[in-house]
Amino acid sequence: MYDIQKIREDFPILSRTVYGRPLIYLDNGATTQKPRCVVDAIADEYYSVNANVHRGVHFLSQQATELHEASRETVRRFLNARSTNEIIFTRGTTESINLLAASFGEACMKEGDEVILSVMEHHSNIVPWQLLRDRRGIVIRVIPMNDRGELLLDEYERLFTPRTRLVAVTHVSNVLGTVNPVREMTATAHAHGVPVLVDGAQSVPHMPVDVQALDADFYAFSGHKVYGPTGVGVLYGKEEWLDRLPPYQGGGEMIQHVSFERTTFNELPYKFEAGTPDYIGTHALARALDYVSAIGMSEIDAYEHELTTYATARLKEIEGMRIFGEADAKGSVISFLVGDIHHFDLGTLLDRLGIALRTGHHCAQPLMERLGIEGTVRASFSFYNTREEVDALVAGIERVRKMF
Ligand code: PLP
């Protein structure tokens, strides 16, 4: 049973006020709020188990290591990966993509080789490839989209050449909400012998994700967007790929033996995890995944879909409303502009009513250029948001509109 009031009680921040008004938090695409169990897990581990992992013979170190590795198993189960060797802990989606660009770029890409991205990528899935382009002379090709915000799959297929080495595409757009058909896109890439990296920053928090069913070769997400702590994230990679790729950073943990002449590297997944990991963060991330799993990812998906459909209909009642992104398959994100009110003004005035939204280019400037705009206001919903909050958003926008 989906008991929204009970769920909201798990998130203490949702009952605070801002400017004397109840907080209406609709910036979940940027980061999500934390349930008590996640924050408690952080405090509990620091108070009672804290010790560095993988290195101590002593009791605490072993217990901390067990918790850290159990968290890896929780992530494995959550994504339905085959093995914990396929779960690399990182700082977040950004680091996961940079890891892959550095490592895959080093091993598999030389001058003139090509990577296919989409026009709706977040900067974190553009700039690492541009850095690689500057270092190695690779070529970036871009999948276009239609005006509804759907990728053009025929054009996508035409981008493949004998020099294509990788497809890197977002599962869900953080601006348009488009849910890209990554399973189909992966099948196309595989038919050309090309592996696929999926940016799951905006999908993992909102829908069931099964990396085996998607057949993605690499999949990245951030803990803080899925109700976990900041500073921890995941790169999933098929073991056969990760085995072939060189380490990303050097240091402790990732080695087997070091001499000044030669170093041998540790086995998976540690080969990619140099230095002390954020073992407190991984434990808290696992609690967050347990939390959303207990509600059910399908239930979350269904609830948010219904809420977003309701919000879309209500927002469309507003005169001058322009919504960007009307794909058939759409997640819980609505980007919009109203008349000629600047997005920053609209966001700032709504903030004074206690409504937290994101404004600007949303780290997707090439997409803004495609849309011919500078920025939007974005409402991004979570399973803890309500219809009453949507109504308050609509009333707030009406109020601002009348002021203009
Ligand atoms: N990719 C997408 C689609 C995103 O929405 C974001 C964050 O907004 C990122 C990547 C980057 O995530 P992080 O800043 O947690 O590394």
Contacts (Cβ under 8 Å, ≥6 apart) of 4: 384, 386
**120 near 151, Cβ under 8 Å?**
yes
Pocket probe for ligand 1: among 91, 118, 225, the residue whose CB has the most ligand atoms within 8 Å is 225
The CA-based angle 386-208-291, given to 5 degrees, is 60
Q: Which atom of ligand 1 is nearest to the CA of 31?
A: 8
| Span 114-132, pLDDT tens digits | 999 999 999 999 999 999 9
Rounded to an integer, what distance in angstroms lies between the CA atom of residue 145 and that of residue 140? 16
Pocket probe for ligand 1: among 285, 363, 365, 376, the residue whose CB has the most ligand atoms within 8 Å is 363
Low-confidence ranges of the chain (pLDDT < 50): none
The pLDDT score that the predictor gives to residue 146 is 98
The pLDDT score that the predictor gives to residue 55 is 81
**107 near 272, Cβ under 8 Å?**
no
* Catalytic pick among 254, 268, 363, 394: 363
**64 near 71, Cβ under 8 Å?**
no
Contacts (Cβ under 8 Å, ≥6 apart) of 10: 35, 36, 37, 291
The pLDDT score that the predictor gives to residue 1 is 66
The reply to whether 363 belongs to the active site is yes
| Span 180-206, pLDDT tens digits | 999 999 999 999 999 999 999 999 999
The superfamily CATH assigns to domain 4-27+297-403 is Aspartate Aminotransferase, domain 1 (3.90.1150.10)
Question: 3.40.190.10, 3.40.640.10, 3.40.50.360, 2.60.40.1180: which CATH number matches 39-294?
Answer: 3.40.640.10
The pLDDT score that the predictor gives to residue 56 is 82
The CA-based angle 97-101-104, given to 5 degrees, is 120
Q: Where in the chain is the domain with CATH 3.90.1150.10?
A: 4-27+297-403
Q: Which atom of ligand 1 is nearest to the CA of 94?
A: 16
Q: Where in the chain is the domain with CATH 3.40.640.10?
A: 39-294
